[in-house]
Structure 1
């Protein structure tokens, strides 16, 4: 079965270190909570809001994780919606799994918790 795993996190500082640390934290928790192995992953989409302008691609955080070097990743800009959450990194990971949709753990950290309060435990 093919499933999507979603996650998001906000950053405090628009810096290379801020982006990479937040992205690493988000990936680590998504992987841990869902028991994801790199071989299960078909692709990963990462979007950032317009106010994240540092020269760091969030995908670099995943590339430093052992075993994740060959997972296809694409970074992109989130659409600019007036009043939307700022300084936000969003992830959509496509995985092969036997889990039901209700068993997938989507992860929303920091200010991004407001995006899906229904999924907060």
Structure 2
């Protein structure tokens, strides 16, 4: 019997400008990368938290995610990141909680664009588990 547990998958990206098109592009790229490197389906997702810096307000990231195949019933929540002086601008972060038979150490976190600097320790070689 496989032991399924709740696991967390993190990620972040930066957005070129505060526009619907730019945010859609960045969120879609981030979710595509996370899905490509982790084995889960929409029904495995418990919930997803998005946070965005206050300079991004053209569209909710969750509205973009909700359009993905299998994500229409996933509980999604958008939050505004705490402002910290000198922190990364136009940044969207994500936390996906999924049921998985894999250990937490097998979860592949994706940090894209300028957000790569947030967690250089999690840089991966492009391989799928």
Q: Counterpart of 2:104?
A: 101
Aligned: 1:87 with 2:83: no
**Alignment-derived partner of residue 4 in structure 1:** 8
1:53 to partner: Cα distance: 2.4
Structure 1 runs (4+) deviating above 6 angstroms are none
Q: Find the aligned partners of 2:96 and 2:17 in 1 and give their Cα distance.
A: 24
TM-score by length of 2: 0.90
Deviation (angstroms), 1:38 = 0.5
Which secondary structure does the structure 1 equivalent of 2:95 belong to?
Answer: strand
Determine if contact 1:9/1:108 at 8 Å carries over to the other structure: yes
Please name the residue that 1:35 is paired with: 39
Deviation per CA, 1:72-120, whole angstroms, max 9, x where unpaired?
Answer: 0000100000111110000000000111121110000000000000011
Gaps of 5+ in 1: none
Larger Rg: 2
Aligned residues: 120
**3-state SS in 2 of match to 1:89:** strand
Contact 1:10 1:22 (8 Å CA) reproduced: yes
Q: Which residue of 2 aligns with 1:61?
A: 64
TM-score (norm 1): 0.96
- CA-based RMSD: 0.8
Q: Is the 8 A contact 1:21 1:61 kept in 2?
A: no
